[in-house]
Structure 1
């Protein structure tokens, strides 16, 4: 008898293992008897194809795979890709969905998927609140002060009703995927300011508790739009836009995400991409830090050697010209072929302009830089050092003459010995750097207006410092 029970237990365990090793989702459409349907998943706010299947004459499509799909929010997309509905996918990946396109929320039925039954209940709860939502939107659309004032308490009450539902759900279903999602959606509730605390208390509390309800060991959150939204808000609105502050926050968050491979992979990727492409000056230092600390040692295990080498090469191209570093030395020739050195060019400020006389954008921007230089920058102690990148010597000299670029120091590198393209990351033109008296990089890749504003702020800071010393 004990042996028989053991064999039954083994068979049951084997069946569970077989189920865990793959997925089988049966979708029954009431209104379709042909066509291809698709299964997609979120990756941050983007959506990606996971599988597809043909719908047979009975309206049935079967999605099957030998390996289980990662947990998260998935979308069942109808033929024609015009309509879809969301569902949850977690440990149980063998179930049936009956779909009636006339009422996706009210008439969709799941068989053997308790998680999606709960998700459907939540969506039906939201559907019942739709009249309240519409009424608030109608008031706000009028854009009058009285209507906006009327909408405010209604919106507060609606938000509380939704939050109360989610809180009750969290308490009742602590291990659910939907609970992890609801908790991640919550913002920290800032308490009243304690006695003795200054006006920054609310900000400091909010920042310190921002990630409290986000389970950074739950890789399922990667395949929802929630995580990317939390990352974007935190790093674009909460953390100060200073490279040192951002780097410290990146390292702390990555350390918390390391226990889960999916979470670690996504958080590191998002931070790397965000700061490689950041429009804010100086944030490329964060990108370089991430590459040096995580990619160079090989932590980004999912990348091919070619992909890894491209990222590392990009960081190494940026590293020599980060803001705050000394500008790399340049040994070139002036327009009369005499030797010219960056560090022998004395000035309070040096505006370094890499430009090409045949470049359409340069033809617009270089004269604008010259106008600003002659109007005000020259009085501030600025020297313009223009470096030809492409075009012939004749085209270069002709452009200088036609646009009266007098007062500039003009240089070029006919023997290509200075390696300026790599040292200054010149892959397009024009590229502008602002250097201080000791040739430290103060700013880079600025337009005329931005550079003008930057110089004015520097002048104001100097005046303020001088006044304090007096």
Structure 2
């Protein structure tokens, strides 16, 4: 009995060792050399995961003691011009693939990988049942006639039902598969008819409230597909108000749903952070600061090394003092004659604060344009204009002022280096422009001349000011 137990333990240990890591064996019929590459999705981008040389018998083996993260993977053939996709579950990572490049969809065979057998059946369905009708639909739409558009719309509806029926069949038969998780995430909320007493926003509110219902935010395998990024992008650009407070609230609610899976949590936090740090819309830096303060300063960004983490936190701290809606940081500096200049004693219905450098090529274009706009209309609106020298010598600065007749400005600089303006106003390039109200609250920043004009026009209209 003891010998039997030892044998069973040995068999179990051997099986566990085999189950660890991954081993993918490729048999390629048309190749006797070259490199095979394996990459995975990460949002809309691809990242290399492994590669292997193809031997004279057309065999390439990729293996490692550490398993790969589950998701959709791309197998790139030599030359990297052709490829096919496959699925990797977190557990099923020991199988072989027979690849016939004469027909990658119909002649590629996965052995001992049920996940990919299901995936191949779906790809064959798409090729056989969807590709041709989709081509016909596009041809009809290109004609741009009412009759053809109606026919195309009817065909699209029929094709959509057929496609959903196939996906529903997979979901019902293989509830735990990666493909099922993908299909569920792709499914759109079905908005019911508007109930009596509801207003015209019912459809939008219902769709938004149920947008994430079928997405398993505890399934980290979905991170290595393009689905989660598409869902995030649509949600935060089309369904959430373009307002920092609204975005912060929705971001926190969504992140809370990802905490059961480290990979999903990491991706969603990263995507939101990157998206709002680099947003083209003014004021979205408030979202970046919120995310950093809540998830990075607290130590939850486990994937970052100390140096990377410190850079992100430092970036957020440089933005935090100058967010829109906050009071502008004090500036106690000097003018060209070394007399004291104070931001808060400068009077004006609006104050435009320009950080510029007389040696900067972009400043040489923008500063004269700002001066022209000031003389043409801003001065009559009660605008105070402060120009702050960041670089260049005092002589270069004064020469530029004289040459371009910048006479209506208050010209300031910090010869003693006491103001800490770079951190307080996040000045890392020039020119940087801030628009402040009468009490020096930040209304707008990093705008061009035309945008400043439009912004002040809207502010005047909102406040009921009538232009003469």
TM-score, normalized by the shorter chain, greater than 0.5: yes
User: Match for residue 301 of structure 1?
Assistant: 302
C-alpha displacement at 1:149, in angstroms? 3.2
Looking at structure 2, the residues matched to 216 and 164 of structure 1 have their Cα atoms a distance apart, in angstroms, of 24
What residue number does 1:99 align with?
Answer: 99
Distance apart, 1:184 and its partner CA: 0.6
Q: CA RMSD in A?
A: 1.5
| 2:19/2:94 contact within 8 Å kept | no
Partners of 1:202 and 1:405 in 2: CA distance? 55
Report the CA distance between 1:232 and its aligned residue: 1.0
**Alignment correspondent of 2:118:** 118
1:235 matched to 2:205: no
CA contact (8 A) 2:74 2:83 kept: yes
Q: Which residue of 1 aligns with 2:256?
A: 255
Give the whole-Å Cα distance in 1 for the aligned partners of 2:357 and 2:365.
11
Give, in angstroms, the shift of residue 164 of structure 1: 1.7
Shift in alpha-carbon separation, 1:400–1:258, aligned structure 2, 3 A: same
User: Secondary structure at the residue paired with 2:218?
Assistant: coil
State which drifts further: 23-32 or 148-157.
148-157
CA distance in 2 between counterparts of 1:7 and 1:127 reads 52
SS in 2 for 1:105: coil
Task: Give CA deviations for 1:131-168 in whole Å, capped at 9, x if unaligned.
Answer: 10111111223344443333222122212211121122
Normalised by the length of structure 1, the TM-score is 0.96
Aligned to 1:442: 443
TM-aligned CA deviation for residue 463 of structure 1: 1.1
Please name the residue that 1:38 is paired with. 37
**How far apart, CA to CA, are the structure 1 residues paired with 2:163 and 2:22?**
33
Q: What's the secondary structure of 1:24's corresponding residue? A: strand
- In the alignment, which residue of structure 2 is the partner of 1:358? 359
Q: How far, CA to CA, are the matches of 2:115 and 2:197 in structure 1?
A: 47
Q: Distance in 2 between matches of 1:238 and 1:38?
A: 38
Alignment of 1:157-172 (within 5 A): 157-172=158-173
Whole-Å separation in 1 of the counterparts to 2:84 and 2:3? 45
- The gaps in structure 1 that reach 5 residues or longer are none
8 Å CA contact retained: 1:20, 1:68: no
Contact 1:19 1:93 in 2 (8 A): no
Q: 1:262 and 1:123 mapped to 2: Cα distance?
A: 27
Distance 2:165 2:369 in 1: 58
Gaps of 5+ in 2: none
Which deviations, in whole Å up to 9, do the C-alpha atoms of 1:33-81 show, x marking residues without a partner?
0011011111111111111100011100011111111110011110111
- Superposed CA deviations along residues 322-369 of structure 1, whole A, max 9, x for unmatched, are 111110000111222211100000111101110111111111111111
- Aligned equivalent of 1:336: 337
Native 8 Å contact 1:207 1:238 kept in 2: yes
For 1:214 and 1:448, locate their aligned partners in 2 and report how far apart those are by CA, in whole Å.
44
Give 1:417 shift.
Answer: 1.3
User: SS where residue 357 of structure 1 aligns?
Assistant: coil
1:400-411 aligned within 5 A: 400-411=401-412
Quote the residue 2:400 is aligned against.
399
- The equivalent of 2:61 in structure 1 is 62
Q: Higher mean Cα deviation, 441-450 or 367-376?
A: 367-376
Measured in 2, the distance between the counterparts of 1:142 and 1:401 equals: 62
Partner residue in 1 for 2:281: 280
Alignment size in residue pairs: 464
Q: CA deviation at 1:206?
A: 1.1
Distance (Å, rounded) in 2 between the aligned partners of 1:101 and 1:198:
56
Q: Does structure 2 retain, via aligned residues, the 8 Å contact 1:291–1:312?
A: yes
Q: Deviations over 1:273-324 (max 9, x none)?
A: 1111111111111111111111112111121111111111111111110111
Partner of 1:389 in structure 2? 390
Hey, what does 2:222 align to over in structure 1?
221
Q: CA deviation at 1:14?
A: 2.3
TM-score (norm 2): 0.96
Secondary structure in structure 2 of the residue aligned to 1:31: coil
Deviates more, 1:152-161 or 1:113-122: 152-161
After superposition, the C-alpha distances for 1:185-220 in whole angstroms (9 at most, x for unaligned) are 112111111111111111111111111011111000
- Helix, strand or coil for the counterpart of 2:464? helix
Maintained 8 Å contact 1:432/1:446: yes
1:378 to partner: Cα distance: 2.0
- 2:268 paired with 1:267: yes
The answer to which of 376-385 and 250-259 deviates more is 376-385
Structure 2 counterpart of 1:109: 109
Contact 1:35 1:79 in 2 (8 A): yes
Greater CA drift, 55-64 or 410-419: 410-419
